[in-house]
């Protein structure tokens, strides 16, 4: 398909992008939120862009010479791995603030004194850029330099987000799409059937099967406290509070991505409809893991997911995994199932990670084989924080409330049914052994 035949669709895409960008720029320049009419039109443009992107993909995709990144609106799952994991990759260089340091920001917030540099979280300028109504977060907007440091630092302790497709959310809702790949039965894949045809023969029309995924920003709240003596006299209070928030952010987001119910929180991997749960062995004892369990789990992982997959297990499984071995012949020495290479545990060629967020030994979810690149995370740019001395008045402590908005869900709707063999998935766990 030549670029010329795609030109009208490419031009329509560019026109829609320019129209939406002009409305956002106008609202930001006038320091006001979008009007209801503007918001309605922007939503309609986002819907049109989704349709246009689907048509372009059906015609061979956007030619690299004609690509324009709108910086907002629908993203394309399956085309790359998101826009990068770090704050700067997703949102660009953080805006410079009037604060000389993070210490100065936290100290001013703690003092309770009015300061023009403390920007309310729901200020009109921010609302205009957010493309939504009042966010009702409360408190003050944390300077972008501090937000970038917190979100990037928490990546180091997380399991899912560093390996997932991460998308920046410029509004409360982000729509992403991908082909429905739930089955290849009958030689059909993505809703399309490859067909052999003779010269001058006729090929039957196919309709690509597309699945829309909606990420809705959900509030994850933090509530760290510190004594007023520590705040007043402690060395580098900023580091104390920021470290606490980093740990809480990383832990909370990770737990949601793994075990979230989808109701007011992300849809977690362990509750996903595409999760395959491998049955235990006949007569298997309670609280055990057998080598055959691991082999059967590996066999149900989609082959395309193997290179990105990792094992995630509860620390309570370590005694079982560490003592599993294979005996080679009558005179052979036992071969350990879980090996170590440069400090990294490995089972069946894939890395092993341990986390308290997994179920205890014997319960479903105590061990997971996952390709987290098939999980989508949407992350908002802003973090808000407020301070109260009332909650801990009797103990002379101050409490800080932080809010970040995020969502996540698997890209697969269901397990994949191949043309031959058992169903496969990007997420596989083991049934309970109780």
Structural domain harbouring 259:
87-171+214-269+376-410
Q: Are 251 and 139 in the same domain? A: yes
How many CB atoms lie under 10 A from the CB of residue 5?
A: 10
The structure tokens listed for 208 are 């690509």
Q: What is the DSSP string of 83-120?
A: B-SSHHHHH-SPPP-S-S-HHHHHHHHHHT---TTS-B
Q: Give CA–CA dist 374/229, Å, rounded.
A: 47
Look-up: residue for tokens 């000389």?
A: 100
| Average pLDDT for 41-56 | 74
Q: Is the dihedral of CA 263, 265, 269, 270 positive or negative?
A: negative
Q: Number of folded domains in the chain?
A: 3
For residue 356, the cross-strand partners are none
**Helix H segments across 200-317?**
228-233, 237-259, 291-299
What backbone phi and psi angles, to 5 degrees, belong to 92? Answer: 85, 180
The count of other CB atoms within 10 Å of the CB of residue 393 is 10
First to last CA, the chain: 58
Same structural domain for residues 356 and 221? no
Helix 144-155, helix 237-259: angle, nearest 10: 50
Q: Mark whether 105 and 238 lie in a shared domain.
A: yes
Which CATH number is 116's domain given?
3.30.2400
Regarding whether 240 and 103 lie in a shared domain, the answer is: yes
165 and 239 in a common domain: yes
Residue 113 has pLDDT above 50, yes or no: yes
Do 264 and 289 lie in one domain? The reply is no
Choose the final residue of a domain: 74, 102, 125.
74
Q: Give the pLDDT of residue 97.
A: 72
Whether residues 119 and 261 share a domain: the answer is yes
Q: Is residue 2 scored above 50 in pLDDT? A: no
User: In the numeric block, which tokens belong to residue 72?
Assistant: 């907002």
What is the rounded CA–CA span in Å between residue 306 and residue 322? 22
Instruction: Verify that 317 and 238 share a domain, yes or no.
Output: no
Which CATH number goes with the domain that contains 351? 3.30.2320
Say if 45 falls within a structural domain: yes
What pLDDT is stored for residue 373 in this prediction? 92
Distances (CA, A) of 142 to 42, 119, 137, 385, 386: 27, 8, 12, 7, 10
- Residue bearing tokens 């826009």: 83
Query: What is the residue-averaged pLDDT of the chain?
Result: 79
Same structural domain for residues 126 and 140? yes
Per the domain annotation, does 192 fall within a domain?
no
Q: For 122-198, list the strands marked E by DSSP.
A: 140-141, 165-169, 173-179
Residue 208 lies in a domain: no
Q: Is residue 265 part of a domain?
A: yes
In a domain, 246, yes or no: yes
Same domain membership, residue 238 and residue 142: yes
Kindly give the residue spans of alpha helices, DSSP state H, lying in 92-193: 102-111, 124-130, 144-155
The residue whose two tokens read 């084989």 is 369
* Tokens read off for 96: 């410079």
Residues 363 and 389 in one domain: no
Confidence at residue 79, expressed as pLDDT on a 0 to 100 scale:
31
Mean pLDDT across 199-224: 81
Percent of the chain whose predicted confidence (pLDDT) is above 90: 32
**Which of 31-45, 255-269, 387-401 shows the highest mean pLDDT?**
255-269
- Asked whether residue 126 falls in the same domain as residue 224, the answer is yes
Residue 80 included in any domain: no
Query: Average pLDDT for residues 391-399, to the nearest whole number?
Result: 81
Residue 193 lies in a domain: no
């Amino acid at each position: 398909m030549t670029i010329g035949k795609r030109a009208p669709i490419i031009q329509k895409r560019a026109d829609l992008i320019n129209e939406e960008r002009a409305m956002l720029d106008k609202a930001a320049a006038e320091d006001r939120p979008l009007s209801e009419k503007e918001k309605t039109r922007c939503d309609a443009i986002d819907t049109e862009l989704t349709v246009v992107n689907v048509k372009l993909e059906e015609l061979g995709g956007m030619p690299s010479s004609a690509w324009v990144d709108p910086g907002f609106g629908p993203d394309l799952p399956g085309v790359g791995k998101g826009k990068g994991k770090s704050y700067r990759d997703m949102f660009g260089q953080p805006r410079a603030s009037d604060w000389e340091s993070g210490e100065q920001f936290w100290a001013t917030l703690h003092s309770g004194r009015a300061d023009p540099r403390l920007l309310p979280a729901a200020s009109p300028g921010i609302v205009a850029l957010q493309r939504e109504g009042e966010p009702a977060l409360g408190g003050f907007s944390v300077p972008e330099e501090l937000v970038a440091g917190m979100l990037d630092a928490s990546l180091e302790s997380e399991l899912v987000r560093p390996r997932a497709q991460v998308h920046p959310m410029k509004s409360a809702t982000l729509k992403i799409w991908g082909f429905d790949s739930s089955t290849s039965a009958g030689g059909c894949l993505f809703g399309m059937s490859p067909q052999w045809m003779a010269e001058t023969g006729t090929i039957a029309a196919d309709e690509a099967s597309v699945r829309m995924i909606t990420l809705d920003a959900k509030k994850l709240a933090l509530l760290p406290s510190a004594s007023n003596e520590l705040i007043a006299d402690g060395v580098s209070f900023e580091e104390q509070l920021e470290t606490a928030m980093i740990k809480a952010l990383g832990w909370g987001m990770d737990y949601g991505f793994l075990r979230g119910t989808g109701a007011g929180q992300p849809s977690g991997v362990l509750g996903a409809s595409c999760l395959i749960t491998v049955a235990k062995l006949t007569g298997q004892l309670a609280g055990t893991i057998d080598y055959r369990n691991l082999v059967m789990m590996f066999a149900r992982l989609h082959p395309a997911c193997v290179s990105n997959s990792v094992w995630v297990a509860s620390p309570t499984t370590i005694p079982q995994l560490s003592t599993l071995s294979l005996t080679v012949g009558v005179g052979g020495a036992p071969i350990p199932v879980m090996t170590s290479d440069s400090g990294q545990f490995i089972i069946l060629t894939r890395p092993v990670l341990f986390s308290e967020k997994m179920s205890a030994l014997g319960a479903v979810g105590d061990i997971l084989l996952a390709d987290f690149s098939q999980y989508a995370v949407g992350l908002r740019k802003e973090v808000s924080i407020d301070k109260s001395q009332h909650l801990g008045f009797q103990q002379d402590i101050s409490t800080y409330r932080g809010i970040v908005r995020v969502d996540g869900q698997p890209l697969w709707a269901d397990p994949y049914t191949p043309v031959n063999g058992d169903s496969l998935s990007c997420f596989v766990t083991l049934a309970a052994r109780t």
